[in-house]
Amino acid sequence: MKEKLESLKQEALEQIDQAQTADDLQSVRVSYLGKKGPITEVLRGMGKLPAEERPVVGELANKVRQVIAEAIDEKKAIIEEKAINEQLEKESIDVTLPARPVHVGGPHLLTRMISEIEDLFIGMGFEVREGPEVETDYYNFEALNLPKDHPARDMQDSFYITEELLMRTHTSPVQARTMNAYKGNKPVKMICPGKVYRRDTDDATHSHQFMQVEGLYVDKNVRMSDLKGVLNQFAKQFFGEEREIRLRPSFFPFTEPSVEMDISCKVCQGEGCSVCKKTGWIEILGGGMVHPRVLEMAGYDPEIYSGFAFGMGPERIAMLKYGIDDIRHFYTNDRRFLKQYHQA
């Protein structure tokens, strides 16, 4: 009987050793330790043994049972650990791998141009103001010395909504409104960026909707030299220290005298090339001294106050800065175009 138990033990331990899975172990457990297993059978048959052998065999059988049970538990722990390790191996992530790039958008080139322009003028003490895109005829035209019979007020040139309302054709009405609000007794130093509308057929250089940044400085003793100083500072900061500016006489209904500002051509350093049409100079913006009628209508006494104003087109400036050949690129949103000007 002892030998039988001993060999059962060896047999079971061998099978446990060979077991690969939890299922294998479970069947070893059932076949050796189960109710119908050989050890249970030995214990059941104890009655037939001589009385003095019973405790010895009983103890041995229990011991064998215990050894097998322990071996199964041990092996089970090993199998479980192996399974966990395999899973960890399979599911491991390499945290040192470079991350997949996340494609984020960025401000539109025009938005960036306008922010840069704003920053430069803020640096010179100007405040930034915005106003409505749907304007009254009064603020868009009348208050800017464009009376009812002025050719610029032709129905063909603007988007009229009613007789009295239209899409603004420039951002000047924001400045006229500001002067009105200050009631003629406070200096004004502002720029106003925004969308404007003209009834044009779109082509490489025309768009029915585009951007404008206008500036206005009204105070006592504001002179043409102040305009020139401010514009010179802007041009050098925006286009580069090495750029020169020049003012040429021009005409606008809302300024007198009026000027246009050129910057020296960067491509040919003033020698003359195709970019500057052989002149050495590139036109950037228009401006002048605020017309006394405009000051007067806004409630400023032109005998006491004077001012300068200017206006520029961010599209034109971006086209010159980056060599963009078609204004429609700004509004057709081809990502191949937009992406080139993305900045983090």
Dist CA 217 CA 238 (whole Å): 20
Structural contact between residues 306 and 290, judged by C-beta atoms closer than 8 angstroms:
yes
Q: Does residue 256 have a known ligand-binding role?
A: yes
What would the x/- binding string for ligand 2NL be over residues 316 to 335, using CB under 6 A? --------------------
Under the binding rule (CB under 6 A), the answer on residue 252 touching ligand 2NL is: yes
Q: Which of 16, 176, 245, 282 touches ligand 2NL (CB under 6 A)?
A: 176
Q: Does residue number 207 form part of the binding site for ligand 2NL (CB under 6 A)?
A: no
212 belongs to the binding site for ligand 2NL (CB under 6 A): yes
Contact flag: residue 282 with ligand 2NL (CB under 6 A) = no
| Sole binder of ligand 2NL in the list 290, 317, 318, 327 (CB under 6 A) | 290
Q: Which of 146, 202, 204 lies closest to 170, judged by CA?
A: 146
User: CA torsion sign, 252 to 289 to 259 to 171?
Assistant: negative
Cβ-based burial of 160 (10 A; exposed 0-12, middle 13-18, buried ≥19): middle
CB 340 within 8 A of CB 258: no
Shortest spacing between CB 103 and ligand 2NL, in angstroms: 35
Query: In angstroms, what is the minimal distance from the CB of 97 to ligand 2NL?
Result: 52
Q: Is 146 an interacting residue with respect to ligand 2NL (CB under 6 A)?
A: no
Distance CA 127, CA 104 (A): 31
Per-residue x/- mask for ligand 2NL, residues 155 to 174, rule CB under 6 A?
A: -----------------x--
* Site residues (vs ligand 2NL, CB under 6 A): 172, 175-176, 212, 214, 216, 252, 254-255, 285-288, 290, 294, 309-313
Binding residues for Mg(2+), as ranges, are: 256
